[in-house]
Amino acid sequence: MKKEPTWIRIVRPPILAIGFVFSTIYTGLFQWWLDPLVSKKSDERLATEVKQSLSFLFSEKAAKIVPSDDYRVQRAFDLSVVTVAAEDFWIRFIRVRGQFDVEVASAQPPRRWEDLSGALENVEIRQGATLNGVVATRRSRAYSCFADVERLLRNRWDALRLYCASS
């Protein structure tokens, strides 16, 4: 095993101590009000994107943005969450560290959230598709942007409505 250089052994303890001091100061003075403010702004940006990119939800499906109660805990990183309530089912958009996820759940409590792609796979299985058939068509249910999500929601709305109602 290679021995670490002497300068690293000398510099590391003061740097760790300074980091501890700054972390403690931030936690005590700023975290309690700054973190919720940053989370709220991040959620608002994502909500604006959802409204612009998926306007059909609000114009055709009478959807509205509702509080994301599941995510009221202290958030890590740059987590953004927006929950959209439509009459048929609820849709939750989550973005963290550049990763974009969409989940669906029944409009009626208790809500069991499920990834959009997984829900669509389960719809196909309930409609009689074989497991091999579902795996073979997996790319058609993939999403990475709002345009993909719009395509999936528009094309499979009725099937998702029935699936979420029975979940």
Tens place of pLDDT for every residue, the chain, 167 residues?
678 888 988 999 999 999 999 888 877 887 777 777 788 898 999 999 999 999 999 999 999 999 887 665 566 667 889 999 999 999 999 998 888 999 999 998 888 999 999 999 999 988 888 888 888 888 888 899 999 999 999 999 999 999 998 87
pTM of the predicted model as reported, rounded to 2 decimal places: 0.79
Is the peptide bond preceding residue 110 cis, with omega within 30 degrees of 0? yes
Q: What is the rounded CA–CA span in Å between residue 111 and residue 90?
A: 9
* Domain boundaries of the chain, sorted by first residue: 40-166
Strands (E), the chain: 64-66, 80-85, 89-96, 99-106, 114-115
Q: What is the rounded CA–CA span in Å between residue 166 and residue 57?
A: 21
